[in-house]
A and B are shown apart, each in its own frame.
Chain A
Amino acid sequence: MTMSILEAAHQKAAAGERLSIEEGMALYEENDLLSLAEWARAAKERKSGRKVFYTANYHINLTNICRSNCPLCAFQCEEGDARGFLLGTEEIGKELASARRVRNLSEIHIVSALHPSQPFSYYAGIVQRIRREFPNVEINAFTPVEIVHFSKISGKSVTEVLEILKDAGLSSLPGGGAEILEDRVREIICPKKASAEEWLDAMRQAHKLGIHANASMMYGHVETVEERFRHLAKLRELQDETGGFRAFLLFPFHPENTKLGQEQEIRKAGSWENLKMLALSRLMLDNFDHFKAFWVMLTLPVAQLALGFGADDLDGTIGEEKIIHAAGARTSTGITREKLDAIIRETGYDPVERDADYRAISTGGTA
């Protein structure tokens, strides 16, 4: 007797076996949120037990002036725009002074626009400076989209760019800019930036150099369900090859203030859809250890709930986060350890303050 795709998907999800794209889509269509939650939770516990992580990190956005002009983005603006900013030496000094005030700072996270005229040396110089001032902090900087941009403006290969940054002190790459790794979709939402293949290849090169990275998916715009699952399968395939991804995070598309949102009349995905995609991502990406519930985007209540749907990392105590707030996220821009601990404990899990490698760090007496 042959099993239907859905029956096979049920069995595999319950047993923790690898799902095909078709099986993932069958579970998506079935829409049984609570079964997905149960399987995703079991998958989480196989990887990280009862631990739920968070970290003290500091976000810096160097510039919002961007030549990519992606319709999906509410952050970027053109050169000469009154909203435009570009951090100079002095302003970076101020940011680093704020970062120094963060207790147990484990990571400085830098993501920026593709500035039309700043040379690669500007970025490499900043990494060098941060490494000098923070010898032990993880520098998690530059998405593959930025790496590809650096390669284009400097005439160096992606590998050379990565080597230079690594020598300057770069530790790891953030997971942004993946959006949906399908060129049909990228043509509509971000035609001028790194293609799907370029994004994946930059990651491959980084992993080969021992630079770990995160991966992401931005969904809820013009992509089909099948494209979401193909995206996840591409990440899974690369992870099989390199093992270089540390964590995965989902970005539900915020349509407010974006060209894409207005032109395509896109409505934001509901919490049902967001939790469902989290659980399905956990099930599809069976070779990823960690899933972030990025509370700035999800809101804190939904991020807490995400811990029941496969997430094991609430991300950071964030100093400042401009990109998503420009697109109308309503969450406040900072949170305390005490609040994160309480939120995690309510779910029955154990809070762990982590370093960039997901090792527990001493919390200085609060835990």
Chain B
Amino acid sequence: MLCTKEYEEIEQKVMRGERLTREDGLRLFACPDLAWIGAMADYVRKKKCGDIVYYNVNCHVNLTNICLSRCKFCAFGRDEGSPGAYAMSKEDAIELVRDAMRDPHLAGLHVVSGLHPTWSFEHYLDILQTLHEKFPSLYLKGFTGVEITHFSRISGLSVREVLLRLKDAGLQAIAGGGAEILSDRIRRELCPKKATADEWLEVARTAHGLGIKTNASMLYGHIETMEERVDHLLKLRSLQDETGGFQTFICFPFLPKNTELGKTISQTSMWDDLRTMAISRLLLDNFQNIKAYWVMLTVPVAQVALGFGANDIDGTIHKETILHDAGATSPLALQEDTIIRIIREAGRIPAASDCNFNILPTD
């Protein structure tokens, strides 16, 4: 083992179920012994979650890529009127979901979109409500903390009021995106126009207070330092201590292609992806689930990530668009039987779930 004596203390803490410190996190990021870090994360996963791996039969609905935020790490956002810009009508959204409904197992929707400069909050709300009424059997997860903050800004309503209205319209859970790195240094540099670190955390806190579960995430592999990765994870852990409202944590490696930032930064390695996954499992000791998001990680990495702390592999998606604009090489969708095979090859038990990790009956 490359990491010897000085790491014994960390291993003992993990075995005893003790919380790791910021220093421990930094030492783990400095340790190249991937198999050792992975084995600890796998130990924790097995103890906490058993062998079930969650997946969704879902459809992503990205209503528009027109966005006033234009973050430097994003290849999806466009200015209004520029080539490739689109904005779905309500009918377009219904059509997309109707197409996805051809899969009899379709369980729910994941609705995430650009911050459209002229759409009102009522417009988003109307589409959500319509989807809920037309497709009452589908769960509705959607809108990141960044979108919720945007809705509050454009409507003049409080975050709490925005959340209550979305809940009334049928929203059951909030997506985990937009957290990026919860550091104002990073956000000023990469995404100055959208929700600040505190605003993002406040949306999650408020949602949890209203009984709405949310997800959390980290976008890494750009300009952040290892300290900033660890601090990001600890901010999430601290809020989770307070509310318990986070359901799953998602690691997003930055995909540089077609982004402004990508001109100077190359893509993370599989080594970095897997250790980041494993260290997240170890530091986020109060998160039940850790997601290996195959779209960004690619299917081979996502599968191996199941041995590095993950117990959730996301969904079939129907047609992914946001990350494929950033050169994601993974397929646009996965067949359910492919997901099942990937999970089984890893020796685990596949379980289709809704957006709140309730296992769905199989037919």
Residues of A within 8 A of B (CB): 31, 33-35, 37-38, 41-42, 50, 267, 269-273, 275, 299, 301-302, 304-305, 308-309, 343, 346-349
Chain A residues with Cβ below 8 Å from B39 are: 34-35, 37-38
* B255 CB, nearest partner CB in chain A, Å: 13
Closest to A345 in B: B32
Determine if A273 and B269 form an interchain contact, defined as CB atoms under 8 angstroms apart: no
- Which of A270, A302, A347 meets B32, CB within 8 Å? A347
Chain B residues with Cβ below 8 Å from A302 are: 270, 300
Determine if B307 and A305 form an interchain contact, defined as CB atoms under 8 angstroms apart: no
- The CA-CA distance from A309 to B33 in the complex, in Å, is 11
Chain B residues with Cβ below 8 Å from A271 are: 300-301, 303-304
Determine if A273 and B1 form an interchain contact, defined as CB atoms under 8 angstroms apart: no
CB of B342 closer than 8 Å to a CB of A: yes
Determine if A301 and B303 form an interchain contact, defined as CB atoms under 8 angstroms apart: no
Instruction: Give the 7 A-B CB pairs with smallest separation, nearest first.
Output: A348-B32, A271-B300, A31-B347, A37-B35, A301-B270, A34-B39, A33-B307
A348 and B1 in contact, given A35-B39, A270-B342, A270-B345 (Cβ under 8 angstroms): no
- The CA-CA distance from A347 to B270 in the complex, in Å, is 11
- Which of A35, A37, A304 meets B271, CB within 8 Å? A304
Query: Which among A31, A34, A304, A349 has the greatest number of chain B C-beta atoms within 10 A?
Result: A34
- The CA-CA distance from A273 to B36 in the complex, in Å, is 19
> What interface size band does chain B fall in?
20 to 34
Determine if A270 and B35 form an interchain contact, defined as CB atoms under 8 angstroms apart: no
9 more A-B contacts (CB under 8 A) besides A271-B300, A271-B304, A272-B304? Answer: A31-B346, A33-B304, A34-B308, A38-B35, A271-B303, A301-B270, A304-B269, A305-B304, A343-B269
Chain B residues with Cβ below 8 Å from A34 are: 35, 38-39, 42, 307-308
Closest to A310 in B: B35
* A-contact bits for B268-286, CB 8 A (1 contact / 0 none): 0111101000000000000
* B291 CB, nearest partner CB in chain A, Å: 17
Determine if A272 and B307 form an interchain contact, defined as CB atoms under 8 angstroms apart: yes
Determine if B274 and A272 form an interchain contact, defined as CB atoms under 8 angstroms apart: no
Determine if A38 and B307 form an interchain contact, defined as CB atoms under 8 angstroms apart: no
Query: Which among B35, B38, B346 has the greatest number of chain A C-beta atoms within 10 A?
Result: B35
Closest to A33 in B: B307
Determine if A308 and B35 form an interchain contact, defined as CB atoms under 8 angstroms apart: yes
- Which of A35, A267, A301, A348 meets B341, CB within 8 Å? A267
Chain A residues with Cβ below 8 Å from B342 are: 270, 272
- The CA-CA distance from A267 to B338 in the complex, in Å, is 10
CB of B190 closer than 8 Å to a CB of A: no
Closest to A41 in B: B35
User: Looking at chain B's contact residues, is the secondary structure mostly helix, strand, loop, or mixed?
Assistant: helix
Chain B residues with Cβ below 8 Å from A41 are: 1, 35
Determine if A346 and B304 form an interchain contact, defined as CB atoms under 8 angstroms apart: no
Determine if A305 and B42 form an interchain contact, defined as CB atoms under 8 angstroms apart: no
- The CA-CA distance from A204 to B42 in the complex, in Å, is 43
Determine if A270 and B303 form an interchain contact, defined as CB atoms under 8 angstroms apart: yes
* B289 CB, nearest partner CB in chain A, Å: 19
Chain A residues with Cβ below 8 Å from B346 are: 31, 33, 270, 272
- The CA-CA distance from A271 to B38 in the complex, in Å, is 16
CB of B306 closer than 8 Å to a CB of A: yes
Determine if A346 and B307 form an interchain contact, defined as CB atoms under 8 angstroms apart: no
* A-contact bits for B230-249, CB 8 A (1 contact / 0 none): 00000000000000000000
Closest to B274 in A: A305
Query: Which among A35, A50, A270, A273 has the greatest number of chain B C-beta atoms within 10 A?
Result: A270
Determine if A346 and B274 form an interchain contact, defined as CB atoms under 8 angstroms apart: no
Determine if B345 and A273 form an interchain contact, defined as CB atoms under 8 angstroms apart: yes
* B240 CB, nearest partner CB in chain A, Å: 26
- The CA-CA distance from A299 to B269 in the complex, in Å, is 12
* B281 CB, nearest partner CB in chain A, Å: 12
Determine if B301 and A308 form an interchain contact, defined as CB atoms under 8 angstroms apart: no
Query: Which among A33, A38, A267 has the greatest number of chain B C-beta atoms within 10 A?
Result: A33
- The CA-CA distance from A272 to B38 in the complex, in Å, is 14
Identify 7 residue pairs between A and B in the complex whose beta-carbon atoms are under 8 Å apart, listed by A's number: A34-B35, A270-B300, A271-B303, A271-B304, A305-B34, A305-B274, A346-B271
* A359 CB, nearest partner CB in chain B, Å: 24
Closest to A50 in B: B2
- The CA-CA distance from A35 to B2 in the complex, in Å, is 15
Chain B residues with Cβ below 8 Å from A269 are: 345
* A89 CB, nearest partner CB in chain B, Å: 41
Query: Which among A272, A302, A309, A343 has the greatest number of chain B C-beta atoms within 10 A?
Result: A272
Chain B residues with Cβ below 8 Å from A349 are: 32
- The CA-CA distance from A347 to B2 in the complex, in Å, is 10
Chain A residues with Cβ below 8 Å from B306 are: 272
Determine if B35 and A346 form an interchain contact, defined as CB atoms under 8 angstroms apart: no
Determine if A304 and B1 form an interchain contact, defined as CB atoms under 8 angstroms apart: no
Chain B residues with Cβ below 8 Å from A33 are: 42, 304, 307, 346
Determine if A301 and B269 form an interchain contact, defined as CB atoms under 8 angstroms apart: yes
B280-318 contacts to A (CB < 8 Å) = 298-301, 303-304, 306-308
* B257 CB, nearest partner CB in chain A, Å: 15
Determine if B304 and A275 form an interchain contact, defined as CB atoms under 8 angstroms apart: yes
- The CA-CA distance from A299 to B267 in the complex, in Å, is 15
Chain A residues with Cβ below 8 Å from B347 are: 31
Closest to A330 in B: B329
- The CA-CA distance from A343 to B274 in the complex, in Å, is 14
Determine if A38 and B304 form an interchain contact, defined as CB atoms under 8 angstroms apart: no
* B108 CB, nearest partner CB in chain A, Å: 26
Determine if B32 and A37 form an interchain contact, defined as CB atoms under 8 angstroms apart: no
Determine if A309 and B341 form an interchain contact, defined as CB atoms under 8 angstroms apart: no
- The CA-CA distance from A35 to B272 in the complex, in Å, is 20
Determine if B38 and A37 form an interchain contact, defined as CB atoms under 8 angstroms apart: yes
- Which of A301, A309, A343 meets B35, CB within 8 Å? A309
* A-contact bits for B32-56, CB 8 A (1 contact / 0 none): 1111101100100000000000000
